[in-house]
Structure 1
Amino acid sequence: MNRYETIFIINPDLGDDETHSVIDKFTGIVGAQNGVQLKLEDWGRRRLAYKIKKFHQGYYVLLDFAGVPAGLAEFERNLKIDDRILRFLSVKTGENVDVEALKAEIAAKVKPQAEAGPTPEVPEEAPAQESVAASPAVAEEIPVAVEPETSEE
C-alpha cells in the first residue's frame, strides 16, 4: 500500500449537512477500495487565491489515507464526476507503508492529547529579535563598500 494525501475543495454554497455528506461519501470510497483513512482535517471555508468556477471561496478538506494505486484512481474518478467538488490534488507521500504501524502511531498521538484534556489557547510571545547592527558577528561578515575620500581643492 502507498500513502496519499488529497486536498479537495467543495462548493461553498452547500449547507453544512450536504458538505458533511460529501466528505462522508469520499471517506466511504476510500474504505470501499480497501484503503485506510489515517487522518481527516476539515479546514472549513477559505478564500480562494483566484476564481474557480465563478466562486471566490471554497470549503477545504484534507484526507490522508493509505491504499493501492487502483483505489486512488477510483477515488479521483469520483472526485472528477462530482459537480460539488471544485478542485482536488492528490500527492503520494510514501510507498510500501505498514498500515498497522501508521495506525499505532496515530493512536499514540491522539491518546496523550485526550488524556491531557483541552488546552487553553495561550498566545505565544514573539521572541525578542536582535538588531542586525547590534550583532558584532553579523557586522563583521557583511562587507561594506566605502567610497574613497577625495579632497576638493
Structure 2
Amino acid sequence: MSFYEHVFIMRQDLSNTQAEALIEEFSNVLSANGGSVVEQEYWGVKTMAYKVNKNRKGHYAFLKTDAPSAAVAEMERLMALHEDVMRTLTIRVKGHEEGPSVQMQKRDDRADRGERRERRS
C-alpha cells in the first residue's frame, strides 16, 4: 500500500457538521476498499484565491491515508460525482510527517521557516 495526502474543498453553504460527515463518508469509502485513514483534519471555512463554481469560500479538509491505488481511485471517483465537493487534490508521498499539518499549526510554532529578510527599497 502507498501513502497519500488528500485535500478537498466543499461548498461554503454546508454546515460544519455536514462537512465533517462528508469527511467521514470519504474515509469510510477508503476503509471499505482496504485502505486506512491515518489522520484527518478539518481546516474550516477559508477564502479561496478565485471563485470556484460561483463560490468565494469553501470548507477545507485534509486526509493522510495508507491505501491501495484502487481505493484512492474509487474515493476520487465518488468525490467527482458528489455535488458538494468543488475541488480535490491527491498527492502520493513517501511517508507521513508526524504532528499536525502546517495549516493547523499556530503561526508562532512554525520555527523551521527561518527569519524574514528585510525588503530593499
* 1:80 alignment counterpart: 80
* 1:25 alignment counterpart: 25
Please identify which structure carries the higher helix content: 1
Provide the aligned length of Structure 1 versus Structure 2.
Answer: 109
- Asked whether the equivalents of residues 4 and 93 of structure 2 are also in contact (C-alpha less than 8 Å), the reply is yes
* 1:67-114 CA-partner distances (Å, limit 9, x unpaired): 1111111010011000000100000002xx7xxxx7xx96xx69xxxx
Give the % identical residues.
27
- Asked whether the equivalents of residues 20 and 42 of structure 2 are also in contact (C-alpha less than 8 Å), the reply is no
Deviation at 1:30, TM superposition (A): 1.2
Report the aligned-residue RMSD: 2.9
Deviation at 1:23, TM superposition (A): 1.1
Matched, 1:13 2:8: no
Deviation at 1:64, TM superposition (A): 0.6
CA 55–130 in structure 1, closer or farther in 2 if over 3 Å, else same: closer
Matched, 1:50 2:53: no
Please identify which structure carries the higher strand content: 2
Q: TM-score, normalised by structure 1?
A: 0.62
Max Rg structure: 1
Deviation at 1:128, TM superposition (A): 9.0
